[in-house]
Structure 1
Amino acid sequence: MPSLDFVKALWTQHFPPAPTFTEKNIPPQKLRVFLITGANQGLGYELAKMLYPTGAKIYMASRSEERTLQAIHKIQEAHLDATTPGTLIFLHVDMADLPSVKQAAIKFAAQEEKLDVLWNNAGIGGAPLGTTTAQNIEGHIGTNCVAPLLFTQLLLPLLRKAATSAPKGSVRVVWTGSLMVDTFSPPNGIDFKAIEAGKTTNSNIDYAASKTGNWFLSHEAAKAWEPYGISSVVQNPGNLNTEAYRYVPAVMRKILQTLLLYETKYGAYTMAYAGLSEEVVNGEYVWPWGRKGKSPRADIHEAIEKGAAEKFWTWCEEKAKPYLN
């Protein structure tokens, strides 16, 4: 039977208190460079919309140039009265194809000398069993974990450059978790045998494992990159009505939208807090709608202590290795 602390942790993530860090709390960000993956819709779009009036340069990375340019136009139209409008730039990337990830990093590095905050937001959820990436990696793990790690490692020199002159703790990599880490992840967070064999049996578990994977990657990055002045943070943006549920059957999706899912902008508050709040420190685990939290899964914490996060980092690096140089 779940402990009272476990139930409380689930409850407060399902039904969070009102956000305290919103667009009103974001200070001017002029001269800062941000990159958001999956930014043409949903969470990424709402975050870019919040950041645009701050004066930042914001790269909106996605597969579709057409949809991203439409999103850029909508953001600009919504902020015609902005006194310090930022810059919105499309960057093509397909997180289900590692060569595309590498090309996106190369293109970004050709245009910028630094990167202040990277939000690894793009991902898939509930994909049909058997879905794989272009490199034949299980779809959720490949898209949500391997690709973001490759992308971040390729962009690491620009993050390090930003950290040399930025305020301490302000250069960050934000990874995207989920409440499903706590509710659907297999024992110890990830079933390594299943993902290696590509013979998973439940797409919800696949998705949850990929979100645990992001927690693992954030944990390892926090250790590895702290000497460079780069903070690594994982956040559960909340239960949101986004395209991540596009694979869920229509009837079930309608039930979720009615009972459990919130407006997407609330998840963007979580992401903004994780990336910009001065309260957040390296290694943080952020709950909706912008609070310090901690997963109630004792087995996963124990697995991390025993090296599971390091093992997963190494596993992902091996998959990405051909594209790292």
Structure 2
Amino acid sequence: MPFKDIWQQYFPSGSPPFTEEDLEPGSHVGKVFIITGANSGIGKELTRFLYPTGATIYLAGRSQERISKAILEIESTASTSGTRGILKSLHGLDLSDLRTVKPAFECFALQEKALHIIWNNAATFCEPGTSTVQGLEGHIGVNAVGPFLFTTLLVPFLQAGAKESGQPSRIIWTGSVHIEVGSPLGGIDFANLDSVKTISTFTDYGVSKCANLFLAHEAAARWGDQNILSVCHNPGNLYTSIFDGKHHWLFVLILRTFLLYDAKYGAYTMMFSGFSEKITQAQNGCYVWPFGIIKPCARADIYKAIDEGKAKQFWEWCEEKAKPFV
């Protein structure tokens, strides 16, 4: 794996090809979006950028209080002129507990008939020893199995969104440079997949992000003929609230100065994945580098694993884990 591929993902060159300037006010009136983890970080920045487009945006997450606070902040700081979107709370979605996923879906289903884009943005970075409520390793449960269950429930609404708009609906999965630098040979070690606790934060996080690349490929294969595009992206190396209070201020200052970009740049990647016309059926299942470059993951062994059926195997593993909660 060339060092330059890692360097390019940590330090993208050039200007982002898709920014808030490419979103015309009122351009998405009537569209419905879901963003998980939208009450903070890049999810909130994306919501802020989408608000003037007039779309109905569901902020999905655990805390009603935090989501309401984010909605109030976005609404109160927006321009008083022009189109405004509709921001709605989809609280109670705790991806570490699969029992909460269907109720969140049902809450959405009672209010809407179609969905045009879902950004599976929420994620966790766990300490060793972490498990989900259902006994899954913390990263794989929250970052992959939870989004898998939520997304599969929403497929009929994505189909309706594509039919209504005449354009493909999109599913956005979240990867990371940790796919390249942290995951084992082949991306996922299936022998350890049923581990009930986090063993290595670095490795297990990388596995969960490779899992999303696998899910993007398999979703493209299964739902592409239903006018649904599936994309996995690495938003970039970004400063978010995950760093607050967890590291010495000097360490965080060094990171922000030399390594981490503002959260809005992650939102630029998310907007590219959600709206760029460069992503067509021909690129269904593609991977996107920061801050909007369509380019495969730099690990050839991972694509070899996909060709050998490992993405399908992982999808079926997720189905088994999610089945009791459908």
Correspondence for 2:60: 61
Correspondence for 2:99: 99
SS in 2 for 1:53: helix
How much has 1:142 moved relative to structure 2?
A: 0.2
How much has 1:243 moved relative to structure 2?
A: 3.7
How much has 1:183 moved relative to structure 2?
A: 0.9
How much has 1:199 moved relative to structure 2?
A: 5.6
Moved more, 54-63 or 198-207: 198-207
Q: For the residues of structure 1 that align with 2:240 and 2:17, how far apart are their CA atoms?
A: 22
Correspondence for 1:238: 236
How much has 1:296 moved relative to structure 2?
A: 1.0
How much has 1:194 moved relative to structure 2?
A: 1.6
- Distance 1:73-1:50 versus aligned 2 partners, 3 A rule: same
How much has 1:255 moved relative to structure 2?
A: 4.2
What TM-score results when the alignment is normalised by the length of structure 2? 0.93
Q: For the residues of structure 2 that align with 1:113 and 1:252, how far apart are their CA atoms?
A: 47
Question: Which residue identity lines up with residue 219 of structure 2 in the other structure?
Answer: A
Correspondence for 1:297: 299
Q: For the residues of structure 1 that align with 2:62 and 2:195, how far apart are their CA atoms?
A: 28
- Distance 1:105-1:19 versus aligned 2 partners, 3 A rule: same
Question: Which residue identity lines up with residue 70 of structure 1 in the other structure?
Answer: K
Determine if contact 1:53/1:82 at 8 Å carries over to the other structure: no
Determine if contact 1:26/1:276 at 8 Å carries over to the other structure: no
Superposed, 1:265-276 pairs within 5 Å as 265-276=264-275
SS in 2 for 1:111: coil
- Distance 1:208-1:242 versus aligned 2 partners, 3 A rule: same
Per-residue CA deviations over 1:155-182 (Å, capped at 9, x if unaligned) read 111111111132333x100000001111
- Distance 1:190-1:245 versus aligned 2 partners, 3 A rule: farther
Per-residue CA deviations over 1:287-314 (Å, capped at 9, x if unaligned) read 1111211111011111111011111111
Question: Which residue identity lines up with residue 321 of structure 2 in the other structure?
Answer: K
How much has 1:217 moved relative to structure 2?
A: 0.4
SS in 2 for 1:295: coil
Question: Which residue identity lines up with residue 306 of structure 2 in the other structure?
Answer: I
Correspondence for 2:16: 19
Question: Which residue identity lines up with residue 318 of structure 1 in the other structure?
Answer: E
Per-residue CA deviations over 1:257-292 (Å, capped at 9, x if unaligned) read 332111000000000110111111222211111121
Determine if contact 1:124/1:244 at 8 Å carries over to the other structure: no
Moved more, 91-100 or 263-272: 91-100
Q: For the residues of structure 2 that align with 1:307 and 1:187, how far apart are their CA atoms?
A: 15
Q: For the residues of structure 2 that align with 1:256 and 1:208, how far apart are their CA atoms?
A: 20
Identity of aligned residues (%): 47
Correspondence for 2:171: 173
SS in 1 for 2:236: coil
Determine if contact 2:177/2:234 at 8 Å carries over to the other structure: yes
What TM-score results when the alignment is normalised by the length of structure 1? 0.94
Per-residue CA deviations over 1:98-120 (Å, capped at 9, x if unaligned) read 11111100110111000000000
Residue 323 (str. 1) matches residue 320 (str. 2): no
Q: For the residues of structure 2 that align with 1:119 and 1:82, how far apart are their CA atoms?
A: 27
Q: For the residues of structure 2 that align with 1:185 and 1:246, how far apart are their CA atoms?
A: 26
SS in 2 for 1:197: coil
Superposed, 1:300-311 pairs within 5 Å as 300-311=302-313
Determine if contact 1:123/1:244 at 8 Å carries over to the other structure: no
Per-residue CA deviations over 1:131-155 (Å, capped at 9, x if unaligned) read 1111111010000000000000111
- Distance 1:316-1:252 versus aligned 2 partners, 3 A rule: farther
- Distance 1:60-1:21 versus aligned 2 partners, 3 A rule: same
Superposed, 1:185-224 pairs within 5 Å as 185-198=183-196, 201-224=199-222
- Distance 1:47-1:11 versus aligned 2 partners, 3 A rule: same
SS in 2 for 1:231: strand
SS in 1 for 2:28: coil
Question: Which residue identity lines up with residue 153 of structure 1 in the other structure?
Answer: T
Superposed, 1:104-143 pairs within 5 Å as 104-125=104-125, 127-143=126-142
The unaligned stretches of length 5 or more in structure 1 are none
Runs (4+) off by over 6 Å: none
Question: Which residue identity lines up with residue 291 of structure 2 in the other structure?
Answer: W
- Distance 1:199-1:85 versus aligned 2 partners, 3 A rule: closer
Residue 10 (str. 1) matches residue 12 (str. 2): no
Moved more, 57-66 or 244-253: 244-253
- Distance 1:62-1:109 versus aligned 2 partners, 3 A rule: same
Q: For the residues of structure 1 that align with 2:177 and 2:114, how far apart are their CA atoms?
A: 32
Moved more, 68-77 or 241-250: 241-250
Aligned length: 318
